[in-house]
Amino acid sequence: MARRAAQALGGGRRARAAARIRAATRGLLHSLFLPLVGIRRIFHLETADDPGLGRLTGGRRAWCRQRLGAWLRALPARAVLQFGRASAPVPRRGPGRGGVVRVSLDEHAVARWTRKFRIPKGYHTTRNKHMKVEKLFTGFDVASRQFLRLWATPGNVELHQVARWMAQRLRRAGRGARLRLLVDAGAAKRDAAVAALLRATPGVTVLMRAPRHRRHMRHWRALPARTFQTIREPGPWTGAPAKVLRVAETRTPLAGDGPCLRGVRTIVAVEGRPPTTGRPAKDRWHILFVNDERTPAYRLIQEFRRRQHHEQAYRIGVHDLDLDAVPSGYAKASAPHQPAFRPAALTWAVWTKALAANLIEELGARLGPPWTHAHPRTLRRTFLNRPGTLRETPGALVVELEPFPEQAALQPLVDAVNAARVQIPGPGGRRRRLLMLLADDKALI
């Protein structure tokens, strides 16, 4: 009898473990497919009765919003961190010995309830008190235009406090490649942080936007005119007048520098703006702190401009993948004057949406030059949200798309999926083969 009880207990444990694995698989598939197909928020699952979403997420129908929300809140923090490390893409290496990886670092605050009403920053209406917002720190590969890593912190954490720590982890992720960091001005708020990032990070080249403090601006404005090199660049649109850029180099002493240090190499770029109202417009000053002593100044400016891909990708993520529609990182059951920060659900929700953005970017790259770097809404409208027919067999799920004008571009990817014999989870834990057919592929059935 004792042996039978032990066997029954062991069988129950195995059944519970299998159920947890199925729930984790379905939760992951829901987190990825919701932004891919354009379901903006979790409560939109109440009206998402598409049977295809249920089949692709491993069941007969999709989860309801209560079940998905409960699963998100129950995620363990260690598992979320392990998943983030395991699913992080490998940076794309550029030419050169060992390869060169260019990564942009930036911080963004998660806006709360700011779309409809004007609410002061940091004020949470549901809790009727001021509270720091959450911050997201992201590493972005400017070559492949993909998110590499993500860290969620409370709102009182600044980029200059964690930039060096982030650089060390991104350097290990590069696997021996030379790392060139493009850092926003948030990492230059303290001179000690600038010195630590530029000088105390071996093997990392840093290009950092410098803040325009008064004590530094007086030094930069006093540079003689002969030190500037005038460069004419094309205008922002066809037929626009050329943009005049004056570039100079100097050394900026930082607070705490000893007498033997020459200061940080500084690239000063002054952009002349044409007058729009008849009055002379003010020049725009762009300052870079760099620890690259060999590359010419103008080439460094051109390299740092690629950081704009990071800003654009995050903006697209906010407005098209709803990166702001994520669970709160603060525990609601904690003390109001000192709320606890538990970022597991927040990190999971944001990182899976970043992975969805990476998948959409990779889809555009594989479709060919007309669709490379296309907007997510364009790819979703053209290729992902297509009407079709689902047919189920005991061992396969057949997806037959209705004819559409751009299906020729999708044919190589459909052939690759069918040749790879992709297996997707089905109801009850069974795995089935995914078979995709276009309008001209009915002969394959």
pLDDT score, position 258: 54
pLDDT score, position 115: 46
* Helix, coil or strand: residue 149: strand
Quick one: which of 304, 268, 302 has its CA closest to 286? 268
Quick one: which of 211, 146, 136, 142 has its CA closest to 182? 142
pLDDT score, position 182: 95
Residue located via tokens 């400017």: 142
What pTM was estimated for this model as a whole? 0.87
110 neighbors 136 (Cβ within 8 angstroms):
yes
pLDDT score, position 106: 93
Q: Where are the alpha helices (DSSP H) in 38-173?
A: 51-56, 65-73, 77-87, 159-173
- d(Cα 360, Cα 374) in Å, to the nearest integer? 9
Element (H, E) at 79: helix 77-87
Residues in the chain: 445
Quick one: which of 105, 109, 297 has its CA closest to 183? 105
pLDDT score, position 278: 54
pLDDT score, position 88: 92
Quick one: which of 402, 397, 407 has its CA closest to 435? 397
Element (H, E) at 270: strand 264-271
pLDDT score, position 131: 59
pLDDT score, position 262: 74
Other CB atoms within a 10 A radius of the CB of residue 45 amount to 20
User: pLDDT tens track of the chain, all 445 residues?
Assistant: 444 434 443 456 788 888 888 889 899 999 999 999 888 888 888 877 778 888 888 888 889 889 998 999 999 999 999 999 999 998 888 766 668 899 999 999 887 654 444 555 556 666 666 656 789 999 999 999 999 999 999 888 889 888 888 888 888 887 778 889 999 988 888 888 888 888 766 778 999 999 888 888 888 999 998 999 999 988 878 888 888 899 999 998 887 665 446 788 999 999 876 655 555 567 888 999 999 989 999 999 999 999 999 999 999 999 888 888 888 888 877 776 677 889 999 999 999 999 999 999 999 999 999 999 999 999 999 999 999 898 988 889 999 999 999 999 999 999 999 999 999 888 877 888 999 999 875 544 4
pLDDT score, position 358: 95
pLDDT score, position 379: 94
418 neighbors 436 (Cβ within 8 angstroms):
yes
* Helix, coil or strand: residue 239: coil
In whole angstroms, how large is the CA radius of gyration of the chain?
26
pLDDT score, position 206: 92
pLDDT score, position 14: 80
Compute φ and ψ for 12, nearest 5 degrees. -65, -40
Structural domains of the chain ordered from first start:
92-357 (3.90.350), 386-445 (no CATH)
